[in-house]
Amino acid sequence: MKKYLVIGNPITHSLSPELHNYWIKENGIKGIYNKEKLNEKDLKELFLKIKNKEINGANITVPFKKDVIYYLDQLSLEAEKTQSVNTVNLKKDKIIGHNTDIDGFELAIKDANYDVEGKKVLILGAGGVVPSVIFALYKMRPLSVTISNRTKAKAESLKNLFNDLKIVDWGEASNFDMIINATSIGLKKGDNLNLDFSKFQDSEFFYDIIYNPKETNFLKDGKNLGKKTENGKKMFIYQAAKAFKIWHGIDPKIDEQVMGLLDK
C-alpha cells in the first residue's frame, strides 16, 4: 500500500485527500492519501520517511512551500524560479521538489477562455501562492504584472524573484484588465477587502484563488460590475492532477463528478 499525504498548518480545510483518493480508487492503485498538520520541527522526520519510502509522495501547503526546500535534493526549474514547492517525490533515491501550482493556474485561466497576452494584471496579496501565479502569468505574456499587498515590504521582496514586477500601495490600484485576489480575505463568509471597486470599472476579469466559499465578496463585487468572474476551483483540481501524474504517471480524469467532490 503506497502512502501519500498533504502537510500544512492549518490543514483541516484541505480537500486534497478527497481528490487523490478518488483518483487512486478510479485507477486501481493500491494506495491512500491523508492529511497531516505539522510544525516546522516535524519536517526533518517527514523527509526521512520519504527517503525511506515509508511515504511515497507529499503535497506541501501553507506555510511550508518555501521551508521544505532545505530538505530537498533537487528542484524542478519552476520550483527553483518561484522558491515554492507544493509536490515532492522520490526519484533514484533523490527527493525532488516540484511546483504544480503554476500549471494549475495557467490551465485554469485557459479553461476560463481568458487571454492574458498584452493585459495589465493586478494581484492582491503576496502570500505563499503568489510567486507561482506570477510565474504562470509571465508565461502568458501580459503587458504588466502589479502587486498590491497590505504589507508592502512583502510585495517588494517578490522583486528579488521577478525583476519586472510593479508594486503599488494597498488600496491605490486602479486601471487593470485582470484582478486576482490572492489574499486570504474571503475564506470566511462576510470577509471584505474594503477596496474601492469603482476603481475597477474598466476591468474585464475578476479571479479569486479561493474556491471555498464558491463566491467571495470579491467575486460578488466583480459580478455586480457586470464582469467575468472565476474562482480557484479549477486551479486546485489541475494542481492536484499534475501532482497525481508525477506520482503515478497517469493523467487523472477531470469531469463533473470530480468537480463535485469539492462542493462541500
- Indicate which residues carry an active-site annotation: 65
Q: Residue from 63, 67, 94, 115 that binds ligand ATR (CB under 6 A)? A: 63
Cβ-based burial of 232 (10 A; exposed 0-12, middle 13-18, buried ≥19): buried
Please tell me the count of residues contacting ligand ATR according to CB under 6 A.
14
Q: Which is nearer to ligand ATR, 186 or 252 (CB)?
A: 186
45 CB-near residues (< 8 Å, 6+ apart): none
| Residues numbered 125-154 forming contacts with ligand ATR, rule: CB under 6 A | 125-129, 149-151, 154
| Residues numbered 91-130 forming contacts with ligand ATR, rule: CB under 6 A | 125-129
CB of 68 to ligand ATR, least distance (A): 14
E strands, 128-177, in order: 144-148, 166-168
Alpha-carbon span 159 to 174, nearest angstrom? 20
Q: Which is nearer to ligand ATR, 49 or 213 (CB)?
A: 213
CB of 52 to ligand ATR, least distance (A): 30
Cβ-based burial of 169 (10 A; exposed 0-12, middle 13-18, buried ≥19): exposed
Residue nearest to ligand ATR (CB): 127
CB of 94 to ligand ATR, least distance (A): 27
| Best CA proximity match to 127, nearest among 109, 110, 148 | 148
Torsion of CA 233, 112, 105, 194, to 10 degrees: -70
Cβ-based burial of 139 (10 A; exposed 0-12, middle 13-18, buried ≥19): middle
Q: Work out whether 62 is an interface residue with ligand ATR (CB under 6 A).
A: yes
CB of 29 to ligand ATR, least distance (A): 31
Site string for ligand ATR, 174-193 (x = CB under 6 A): ---------xxx--------
Alpha-carbon span 33 to 55, nearest angstrom? 10
Residues that bind ligand ATR (CB under 6 A): 62-63, 125-129, 149-151, 154, 183-185
